[in-house]
Structure 1
Amino acid sequence: MIWTVIKIAVFLVIVSAVTLGFSHLADMSGGLRLSSMGMEFTLGPLQAVIAVILLFLAVWLVIKVVGLFVAFLRFLAGDETAISRYFDRNRERKGYEALAEGMMASASGEGRLAMSKAAKAQRYLQRPELTNLLTAQAAEQMGDTKKASEVYKRLLADDRTRFVGVRGLMRQKLAEGDTDTALQLAKKAYALKPRHREVQDTLLKLQTERGDWKGARSVLQSKMRQGELPRDVHKRRDAVMALQEAKGVMAEGASIEAREAAITAAKASPDLIPAVVMAARSYIDKDKPRAAERLLRKAWSSQPHPDLAAVYAEVAPDEDPAKRLKRFGKLLELRPDHEESRLLRAELNIAAEDFPAARRALGDLVETHPTARVLAIMAAVERGEGADDAVVRGWLARALSAPRGPQWCCDKCQNIQADWTPVCDNCGGFDTLSWRETSQNASPLPHGAEMLPLIVGKPNAAPSEARTVDDAEIVEPDGEPDAARKDSGEGTGEKQSAN
């Protein structure tokens, strides 16, 4: 209402100004004198202004007539569309102006204005491949997803705009949370434009979420070939996907193919602990213990990890503690000063009942880095050396509230997971889990019974019914039979594997 009143007021002001101007011109004396071919014309001020206006109109008309004449000559020369283009030129100009204004309105977030300009441009241009896209974008800005979806579907009919339509529908389905349909649309968009970065990333993300590791590896290979992914990053991520593909193949019963895939993944990325573990176990199943040990030693030199030690023990599961300690020497000498090597050496010495050597292996870790595992091993050492029950319980009490040490932690959201997975359970990040300590490491252990295997062997009761540390029976060292001591050593090995 206010805008209408303003427009009326402006119109009245302009009319009044023009009327006032003409009245002044009529009252002015003098005029314009023209002389041509012996003839002289005298025009008053008002007549002079009218003459100038008529002159401009005449020039404009001459230009139009000349343009029409040129178009007619082109038509005679064989250009059948010359005359139609001449008459459509003005419509095209208005149409492209409306299209440009609509694009600017869309960029400014004015969805309703952009929709209006798109409709105007369509009336003048009759170019749906241009105006439909602007209409869809304007509809999305206005929150009219139904209208946008209809326009995107219309774009599918034209080969030139099919990719735009598929991509628009894909983004809509992603926003709605319909990942199944979005995955199918992403595959179609990828088939139309395999070099499109956004489509590649979207398809890769959806495939990893669905566990389509074979398809994801194909997209990853394409990104590397196009130079959008560094070779070392591709090598690591491809190894992760190969590992998951191997697990899927193994779940289907094709163990041979799974073993080969796991070995390939481990060779491609020796610092990928789960791949090395799976590949080493495949070598063990194929009765190739030396190959398994070589693979594990190579991974240990890169990053010592409890899972590597556990599989290294599986190479010879029936060996006695002394032989195991000797065989593990080749592994431990690779990174002798690493904390994991020191803890593993201490646990092996406990299993061999060499408690002073276990204490020496721990060194100053009790003071410098007292994690739950370090303190639990210290409790086992004290127990093996015949310390009082109060001393052992004191170490266990400290272990229950001590930091957990390195764990699988997401580098993106800091979420802690018990086992490694290619995709973070919390944020969905791909290959973001790393074996390290975090600020959340100070959380207490879930149950005191987890410490019991280090002292009295594995408890017979179920975990939910296990007794707490304060209720645990501490066996006297003088009366402990050999079998019990062996159980204690085996419990230590089990604790090491669990960590």
Structure 2
Amino acid sequence: MIRLLSYAVVVLGLALGFSWLADRPGQMTILWQSQRIEMSLMVAAALVVALVGLLLFVWWLVRLVWTSPKAASRYFRARKRDRGYQALSTGLIAAGAGNAPLALKMAERTRSLISADQEPLIHLLEAQASLIKGDHDGARQKFEAMTEDPETRELGLRGLFMEAKRAGADEAAEHYATQAVERAPYLPWASQAVLEYRTRAGDYDRALDILAKQRASNSTGGRDTSREKAVLLTARAGARLDSDPKAAREDALQALKLSPALVPAAVIAAKAWFREDNLRRGSAVLEQVWKLEPHPEIAEIYVRARSGDSALDRLKRAERLESLKPDNPVGLAAVARAALDARLFEKAREKAEAALTRDPREGILLLLADIEEAETGDQARVRHYLSAALRAPRDPAWIVDGLVSERWQPLSPVSGELGAFVWKAPYTQGDATVAHLLEDLPPPPPPVQSQSHVEDMLELDAPPPMTATTSPQPGSGLTETAERPERDATVVPFFGHPPDDPGVRDSSKAAEPEKKRKPLF
């Protein structure tokens, strides 16, 4: 464009010049070698312009002849380079498609047409071709050669890192990732790998520093860095809890500011407060997180905050926690366990059955079995609850990448992702209900009344039990009957029997109608 404008300006200048001379005619006389030459000024100007043009043409012709060998060499070299780049492009496409023979062929052709010093991508093509062929040693040699070139150093380090990961050499992979971070902190793959390795090694200070550099360089890739920082702070707090409870508490509280519903951080902060005998602040932290995320571990720490508390004191604390989140199955189960420890079986059973109604789970049914074992010792009823527990959905646990863990960890052992652990059930069985859990199971026998219990009823002027037949309620689906002991009958303790053995029926009462057994729920 600039050259075209230059030509236009020159032509316009010549036209203006000749126009100016045409308006001012004159004569020019030249005496040279006794010769007199006369011409008009316009002709003289035209001759001068023609002479200059002739000189320029001659100069161009001489220059063309002089530089023709170099121009011819440049032409053939450019043609060869174009063919080499075409082969390189074809080879990279073939390598990406997994066509090893074509990739190797194009790699050889590219090296014969282009020098590797001029085009570093030749090393990449050869390395990819070696990988497709299965020559991992040759590929590593190519990647190592790429690390010596500043233009391909990062690419070579990534290739060596991937090869080390493939071979299971974690130390070598960490070494290459660390080198890449030192030279280019903005590389997401390198910083993320070093972050994973430092977290796995327990070097949380270095991990937090790398995470801060990622956020500063905006190379997080859209990840929730606040959540990751909270996870790292929680992990560091857990590591410091025994040696420096104050520092652990500060880290845990800072993690709660970033992620208010992070249960492990709340537990660590509360433990740190409790070790300083500060029950009020520790309980306040647990209550704050409990309102957002009711968790069994929070309930356990909250109820047993003071080691010297009695069972009744622990029950009061459990009721206080349950009142913060009414009708929550986790809180109801916590009250039931505390009531069981306090030997308040009626309250324990009531809370456990309420929790089972709201969230049928294996743990609640096992709790009911413990209550039955402690209260009556009726093995038939205990086995009844245990059988239902086998069919109930499992209790929530810490899940990550399909694995179930007994405790929370900051890093996934499978994928290496930070904060990947979630609290949920290992698997679901649909919308389970109490009726579904207890279907196809024989209903438990009625609780056995002891002789002292009958005497207490007589002292309280309770209405005497009578032998009667109760018709089944409509829609109940139950047809079994049960007998009530008479006032003067002697109650024989029941020591249990196999669930499939109804025992020996008394022949004297064989003809008596049986009363329908009431459903458990």
TM over 0.5: yes
AA aligned to 1:106 is A
Matched with 2:134 is 143
Are the counterparts in 2 of residues 68 and 83 from structure 1 also a CA contact under 8 Å?
no
CA 1:206–1:293: 2 relative to 1, 3 Å? same
CA 1:149–1:411: 2 relative to 1, 3 Å? closer
Q: CA deviation at 1:292?
A: 0.5
Matched with 1:345 is 335
Matched with 2:309 is 319
Over residues 152-207 of structure 1, what are the superposed CA-to-partner deviations in whole Å (9 max), with x where a residue is unaligned?
11112221111111111111111111111001101112233322333344334444
Q: Distance in 1 between matches of 2:406 and 2:332?
A: 23
Over residues 337-382 of structure 1, what are the superposed CA-to-partner deviations in whole Å (9 max), with x where a residue is unaligned?
1101111122233334433333332344445644343234334545
Q: Distance in 2 between matches of 1:366 and 1:349?
A: 16
Consecutive unaligned residues in structure 1, runs of 5 or more: 1-65, 76-80, 443-473, 480-499
Matched with 1:219 is 210
Q: Distance in 1 between matches of 2:124 and 2:271?
A: 55
Q: Distance in 2 between matches of 1:388 and 1:139?
A: 72
Q: CA deviation at 1:335?
A: 0.9
Are the counterparts in 1 of residues 399 and 424 from structure 2 also a CA contact under 8 Å?
no
Q: Distance in 2 between matches of 1:301 and 1:67?
A: 92
1:162 aligns with 2:150: no
1:359 aligns with 2:360: no
Q: CA deviation at 1:138?
A: 1.4
Consecutive unaligned residues in structure 2, runs of 5 or more: 1-59, 431-447, 454-521
- Alpha-carbon RMSD: 3.7
Matched with 2:249 is 259
Q: CA deviation at 1:383?
A: 5.8
2:264 maps to which of 258, 270, 274: 274
AA aligned to 1:313 is V
Q: CA deviation at 1:295?
A: 0.5
1:203 aligns with 2:203: no
Are the counterparts in 2 of residues 407 and 416 from structure 1 also a CA contact under 8 Å?
no
1:93 aligns with 2:103: no
Q: Secondary structure at the match of 2:324?
A: coil
Q: Secondary structure at the match of 1:416?
A: strand
CA 1:370–1:159: 2 relative to 1, 3 Å? closer
Matched with 1:108 is 97
2:295 maps to which of 305, 324, 349: 305
Q: CA deviation at 1:306?
A: 1.8
Matched with 2:169 is 178
1:235 aligns with 2:226: yes
Q: Distance in 1 between matches of 2:256 and 2:61?
A: 75
Over residues 222-260 of structure 1, what are the superposed CA-to-partner deviations in whole Å (9 max), with x where a residue is unaligned?
4444164557x2222222222222333457x44443333
Are the counterparts in 1 of residues 85 and 110 from structure 2 also a CA contact under 8 Å?
yes
Are the counterparts in 2 of residues 223 and 229 from structure 1 also a CA contact under 8 Å?
no
Q: Distance in 1 between matches of 2:170 and 2:265?
A: 29
Q: CA deviation at 1:428?
A: 5.3
Matched with 1:491 is none
Matched with 1:331 is 321
1:191 aligns with 2:179: no
Q: Secondary structure at the match of 1:439?
A: coil
Q: Distance in 1 between matches of 2:384 and 2:417?
A: 38
AA aligned to 1:287 is D
CA 1:132–1:391: 2 relative to 1, 3 Å? closer
Matched with 1:432 is 420
Q: Distance in 1 between matches of 2:412 and 2:273?
A: 29
Sequence identity of aligned pairs in percent?
25
Q: Distance in 2 between matches of 1:354 and 1:67?
A: 115
Q: Distance in 1 between matches of 2:342 and 2:256?
A: 32
Matched with 2:364 is 374
AA aligned to 2:284 is R
AA aligned to 1:295 is V
Question: What number of residue pairs does the alignment pair up?
Answer: 373
Q: Distance in 1 between matches of 2:259 and 2:205?
A: 18
CA 1:383–1:169: 2 relative to 1, 3 Å? closer
TM score, norm. by length of structure 2? 0.62
Are the counterparts in 2 of residues 207 and 215 from structure 1 also a CA contact under 8 Å?
yes
AA aligned to 1:239 is A
Q: Distance in 2 between matches of 1:416 and 1:257?
A: 30
AA aligned to 1:341 is G
Q: Distance in 1 between matches of 2:232 and 2:351?
A: 38
Q: Distance in 2 between matches of 1:241 and 1:280?
A: 18
Are the counterparts in 2 of residues 422 and 433 from structure 1 also a CA contact under 8 Å?
yes
Are the counterparts in 1 of residues 198 and 204 from structure 2 also a CA contact under 8 Å?
yes
Structure number with greater Rg is 2
Q: CA deviation at 1:309?
A: 1.6
Q: Secondary structure at the match of 1:410?
A: strand
Q: Distance in 1 between matches of 2:378 and 2:281?
A: 45
1:283 maps to which of 255, 273, 288: 273
Are the counterparts in 2 of residues 405 and 441 from structure 1 also a CA contact under 8 Å?
no
Q: Distance in 2 between matches of 1:477 and 1:307?
A: 42
AA aligned to 2:259 is S
Q: Distance in 2 between matches of 1:179 and 1:263?
A: 33
Over residues 289-348 of structure 1, what are the superposed CA-to-partner deviations in whole Å (9 max), with x where a residue is unaligned?
211111000111111112112211343222233333334444222211110111112223
1:152 maps to which of 139, 143, 147: 143
CA 1:282–1:95: 2 relative to 1, 3 Å? same
Are the counterparts in 2 of residues 155 and 164 from structure 1 also a CA contact under 8 Å?
yes
Q: Distance in 2 between matches of 1:364 and 1:301?
A: 20
AA aligned to 1:401 is L
CA 1:88–1:274: 2 relative to 1, 3 Å? same
Q: CA deviation at 1:280?
A: 0.7
1:422 aligns with 2:410: yes
AA aligned to 1:94 is R
Over residues 416-452 of structure 1, what are the superposed CA-to-partner deviations in whole Å (9 max), with x where a residue is unaligned?
222222334566554333222233799xxxxxxxxxx
Over residues 435-481 of structure 1, what are the superposed CA-to-partner deviations in whole Å (9 max), with x where a residue is unaligned?
22233799xxxxxxxxxxxxxxxxxxxxxxxxxxxxxxx9x9989xx
Matched with 2:237 is 246
Matched with 2:390 is 401
